[in-house]
Amino acid sequence: MSTAPPTIGATTPLPLPSPFTHSPLTLLTQGAEALVFRTTLLNAATPVALKYRPPKPYRHPLLDKRLTRARLLAEARVLVKCAREGVQVPEVVAVGVEEGWVALGWVEGGTVRGVLDGYTPSHPPSHPPGEQKDGQREEVLMGLMGRVGRAVGRMHEVGVCHGDLTTSNLMVRRKEGEKAQEHFETGGGHHTAGLEGLDGEIVLIDFGLATQSIQDEDRAVDLYVLERAFAATHPVAEPLFREVLRAYGESYKGAKVVLRRLEDVRMRGRKRSMLG
């Protein structure tokens, strides 16, 4: 590509499709398939996350169009299905099917990833270990993990598999009126002792790889991916993930079977062996 890669946080004049071409958008993050911007839609008081899948120059234009369209529609349909069934996901505000964008309701809050980075028990002992506080924090954190398990369980129950379930794709919605917490925005580094912001509900985001599936295998792989994400986020996150699984196991009928299947997946990894 001839243009310089955009930097995160900058208001960038990317060649976006109309009507966003000349709007000042703030780039939040960039993945392999999509760029995510923050902007407003419908009225100035409604912030949205605009997810744009730019065309891939290396693909045949016709194929590119079809793939983008199909993926976008799949994502939007899954989101609408989840919302209808009461799973906490961002709402679909508007879709530009041909242009490759979808506008999603803004979720105020931080990622579980950010929480874990700042909160796990092993974090620097420079912090005087006020015992009571630690115990309380542990409890709040466990509560959060329970909600993660139930949120994932609820999603699986309605027949949706996320496909890319990581701690960054789990958000904790900040309650209205609550102030922004530093530990959310900065991820690691800062760790405030506060417990605020951890009691919000769990919102699942990024359904770009989601499928509508009720197979135990797909569900187990979802959990396996999440487990790996937990392990990668923090070495001592294991007891936390155990709580996630416990809550998951109780969240819907059929969850136990998935947990047993998870054992198999752990043994062999995410991809099913094609031998024999």
Partner 1 sequence: MATVETLYLPHYPSYPIYISLFKNVSNAKFLRQQLLEANAAFEYAFLDGTMILSPRHLHAATFRALNDSVYNRLKSRNIHSELVFSLSPNNNIADAYRRFGIQDSTTSLLAIKIPLSNPEITAESVSKHLGDAVEGESVAFGEEALKGVTDVKALRKGVILGMMALKGT
Task: Look up residue 13 and give its two tokens.
Answer: 């004049």
Find the binder of partner 1 among 2, 3, 7, 18 (CB under 8 A).
18
Residues 89-148 touching partner 1, rule: CB under 8 A, are 93-94, 96, 98
Q: Candidates 88-96, 117-125, 236-244, 264-272 — which segment interacts with partner 1 by CB under 8 A? A: 88-96
CA distance 76 to 55: 18
- Burial level of 128, CB count in 10 A (0-12/13-18/19+)? exposed
Report the Cα 222 to chain-centroid distance in Å. Answer: 12
Nearer of residues 48 and 144 to partner 1, judged by Cβ:
48
Q: How far is CA 133 from CA 124, 130, 145, in A?
A: 15, 5, 18
Task: Look up residue 190 and give its two tokens.
Answer: 């800062």
Nearer of residues 11 and 46 to partner 1, judged by Cβ:
46
Task: List residues bridging with 265 in a β-sheet.
Answer: none
Q: Candidates 35-43, 239-247, 256-264, 267-275 — which segment interacts with partner 1 by CB under 8 A? A: 35-43
Q: If binding is defined by CB under 8 A, does position 29 make contact with partner 1?
A: no
- How many chain residues are in contact with partner 1, going by CB under 8 A? 16
Q: If binding is defined by CB under 8 A, does position 42 make contact with partner 1?
A: yes
Q: If binding is defined by CB under 8 A, does position 40 make contact with partner 1?
A: yes
Q: 80, 104 in Cβ contact below 8 A?
A: no
Q: 125, 76 in Cβ contact below 8 A?
A: no
C-beta of 21: minimal distance to partner 1 in Å?
A: 9
Q: Coil, helix or strand for 48?
A: strand
Q: If binding is defined by CB under 8 A, does position 23 make contact with partner 1?
A: yes
Catalytic (active-site) positions: 164
Q: Which residues bind partner 1 (CB under 8 A)?
A: 18-20, 23, 39-44, 46, 84, 93-94, 96, 98
